[in-house]
Each structure stands twice: as C-alpha cells, then as structure tokens.
Amino acid sequence: MSVIEEGSGHAFGKQLRGEVPRSSHGRFAPAHDRPDPVAVLTSQNETRIQWLVPVRHWRMAQSPFAFYRGAAKLMALDLATTPATGLQAQICGDAHLANFGAYGSPERELVFDLNDFDETVPGPWEWDVKRLVASFAIAARHNGLDAADETDLAATASATYRGAMSEFAQMRYLEAWYAHLSVDDIFEAFADELTKKERRSAAKFSRKARAKDSLHSLSKLAEKVNGEYRIKTQPPLLIPAREFPIEEDAVEIRGGITTSLADYLASVPDHLEVLLRRFQLRDIALKVVGVGSVGTRCSIVLLQGRDAEDPFFLQVKEASRSVLADHLPESVYANQGQRVVVGQRLMQAASDSFLGWTRGTISGTHYYWRQLKDMKASPETESASLVALRRFAVLCGWTLARAHARSGDSRAIAGYVGGGDVFDRAMADFAVAYADQNESDYAAFTAAIESGAVAAHE
C-alpha cells in the first residue's frame, strides 16, 4: 500500500500553498448542515454492548476533555469540511494527546510513541495535526490555564511537528524509518530543566512502567481458586465470561475468542506462533477500557505457560469501521482488525510483536489482538502545569511528524508548512476555535443526559 503521491517533493509542497493557503487552516466554523452532535455520538451505540453504553456516556460527561476523547466521529465530520492539501500519509485518526505514551518495544526498551490506532487509515496528514493541537487547547482549559496558554501549547505542538518534518525530509529513508524516542532519551533531553521533584517523578514513572508485565497484571486482575488462576469479577468494568449478564454477549466473547484463537496464531509470524502454542487458554473476561471504546467488545485473555506462575495476558479489542471511513476511500483491508494492525506497524517505530487479527462469531465483527499493558504508561496531563504540557507538546509534535514521515512524502509536507510560523499560527487559531466548538457540543451532550434523553451512569 502506498500513500506517497507521485511527483511530490519540497517544491511541489511549496507550490500547494497557492492552492491551499496555510492561513486557511486557521478558520473553522461548523457546516450549515452539520448534524446534531448528540445524534452523531449515540449512533455509534447501535452495535455496542447495550448495558455498557451508559458507562460510555458517563465517562464522556466528566469534562469537555473527556468528551473530546470520545468524540472522534464528531470531529471527523468537521475535519472533512476543512482545507487539505491532498497530500496523504497513514494517519492515526485519533491523535489527541492522551493517545501518546510509553510502552515496551520487542527489545524491552521503554519507548514513547502513539499508542492508539482504532481509527487509523491513509488520509490527510492535516487531520491528525488538527486533532492534536485542539487537544492541547482543550487540555489547557481543563487545567485552568489562560487563553494565551491555549494558543501557546497548540502552536508549540504545531511548530515541533513542522520542525521535525523538515528534519525527516532531509534524512535518508532508512534513517527516518528507524528514528524513535526512548524514555531515557526524553529524560536526558530535558534533564537540565527538570526540578529535583520532577526528576524523582520521572524515575518513578520509568520504574512503574517497566514493572507492568503479565505477572503484574496477574496480581491485579486474577485470583487463585483450587490452585489455578482465574480472572477476578469487578463489575461492570471487569466481568469474566462465566458471569456475563447477557448470554448472547457471553457466546460472542467466549466462543469468539476460543474458536478464533487458531486464526490469531495464523496472523502472527511463524516464530511467535511456536511460542504462543506453548501456552494454554485459562480464562476470558470483558474489560472496559478508555472512553470512546466503552461498549465495544474488548476482552482480556489469561494464558498459562509452564505453570500457574507463568502467565501471559492478551487483550482482544473489537475493531469497527474507522470514524474517518465515511469521508475517505474504503480501506483495502476487509478485516478491520488487520487495518488497525497494519496501520499501527506503519506508524510506530517499534510495535508489539504479538499484534494479530481475527473475525468474531457475530457477522461483521472483527478483532485485533495485542499484549495487555506491556510496560504501558502515560504521563499525567490532567493536572499538569503549563511547563509540563509544553514539554509534552514537543514530544507529541515530534512523534506525530515521525509517524507521518514513515508513509507520507516528508519533503512535500515540509515544503508546504515552510520555515516560518504561518502554519503554526493557523493551527493555534484552529485549536482555539475547535475548543469552543467542543464545549458547545459537550453542553448539548450533558443537557441530553440531564433531560433523560441519553442514559448515563457510573
């Protein structure tokens, strides 16, 4: 699959400024025929586990920032009305700041990267940048910062993206392909400006992340019964298949996983299949995760190796059609789980070795498989200071540029965004305008909950 346009290059990107002025990205107003935001969001509930839908609504109602995390479909409608150069890359589709963080690479290095790809597709690189910068403006409001800080954080993320893309445009293809950020690299880069307290927090963050493995998950998620481990019951957020309240859901989760395990093994490289076949399936449970994903069929699988003290946890997530798909060509992958896995491998510098995909027992359901919480950790942003958020904006901007440079034409994108701050000022203006729109949509959503039109409970 190729997403690089033929005939592209730095001069071509610069030429595109005449067709799509960089300043045009700063303007946003909802389309005159924009559908009701509540109707758009609740339309996603049709295929979800119905007794979990109110939990999704409750999580989204906690703040405008939480709402934004769950409203990717709504923003996709809006992004489709904004200017775009026509340059394509593999895009995340949901590149808000909470979808960046640390995890373990196959070499057991703690790396920083994008870590959510449920919506990934080939598409306009601008959409990811706009989703990112708007998230920083919304986070600034959430944290009680002022209007100037909203603009500053959005511009910082954009400027870092722009500068990094210029660097990748000058690199050899393989040099850009292997570029990555380790957590150790990050701490070293910011070492001179960190306070003693921040250094201690950074060291603690690294220790806690490295400790998150299957043994750690076993202690948190499982209990020993008659000498064997099984997954705990913690309703409604963790429910073993043996205790599902609705039998149809139990059949899909339990039956779908046990019958498709062989298909999953066929989707991983042969050497990993040899390893995985040494494990035995012990238990399956539904586990509620995130904000926007609540209500989709997301499970954890407990496998046992040599003995009960040799566990391995996998996560199996339902992969639905991308929220961007209505506005872009249909994916070349018939299985939505494969779409997610291929997109993740294309955008990340290092991906989970155990990624795979299968079909479910319910017609049209697709899944992707991955390790559960393998050294995965994200910095706390909801109480972060302006300085801390600015550092995070730098990390996210660089990472997003690197992800796009792996599949898109970095020279053309670099030529378009240029060396000055015209593009950054436009992105900042868009971020603030969209933060306003997000608050308006949030108000409509919470009003629907208060009126009883939309059910929500913890």
pTM of the prediction? Answer: 0.95
Q: Does 273 map to a domain? A: yes
How high is the pLDDT of residue 248? 62
Same domain? For 400 and 301 the reply is no
Q: Does 303 map to a domain? A: yes
Same domain? For 336 and 443 the reply is no
Same domain? For 125 and 74 the reply is yes
How high is the pLDDT of residue 362? 75
Q: Does 457 map to a domain? A: no
How high is the pLDDT of residue 1? 62
Same domain? For 438 and 365 the reply is no
Q: Does 376 map to a domain? A: no
- Number of domains within the chain: 2
Same domain? For 445 and 304 the reply is no
Query: Which residue is associated with the tokens 């944290």?
Result: 143
Same domain? For 247 and 190 the reply is no
Q: 7: closest CA among 402, 171, 129, 15?
A: 15
pLDDT tens for the chain, residues 1 to 458: 666 554 469 999 999 999 999 999 999 999 999 999 999 999 999 989 898 999 999 999 999 999 999 999 999 999 999 999 999 999 999 999 999 999 999 999 999 999 999 999 999 999 999 999 999 999 999 999 999 999 999 999 999 999 999 999 999 999 999 999 999 999 998 988 888 888 898 899 999 999 999 999 999 999 999 989 999 999 888 999 888 766 666 666 676 777 788 899 999 999 999 999 999 999 999 999 889 899 898 999 999 999 999 999 999 999 999 999 999 998 999 999 999 999 999 999 999 999 999 988 777 889 999 999 899 999 889 989 999 999 999 999 999 999 999 999 999 999 999 999 999 999 999 999 999 999 999 999 999 999 999 999 98
Domain span at 260: 214-371
How high is the pLDDT of residue 290? 86
- Last-in-domain residue among 371, 402, 427: 371
Same domain? For 271 and 388 the reply is no
Q: Does 1 map to a domain? A: no
Please check whether residue 251 is in contact with residue 299, taking contact to mean a CB–CB distance below 8 angstroms. Answer: no
Residues 75, 40: Cα–Cα separation, whole Å: 10
Same domain? For 41 and 146 the reply is yes
Q: Does 4 map to a domain? A: no
Same domain? For 31 and 137 the reply is yes
Q: Does 456 map to a domain? A: no
How high is the pLDDT of residue 259? 77
Residues 301, 356: Cα–Cα separation, whole Å: 14
How high is the pLDDT of residue 246? 63
Residues 272, 205: Cα–Cα separation, whole Å: 30
Same domain? For 22 and 156 the reply is yes
Same domain? For 175 and 235 the reply is no
Query: Which residue is associated with the tokens 């957020």?
Result: 237
Same domain? For 228 and 185 the reply is no
- Last-in-domain residue among 346, 371, 396: 371
How high is the pLDDT of residue 295? 86
- Last-in-domain residue among 317, 340, 371: 371
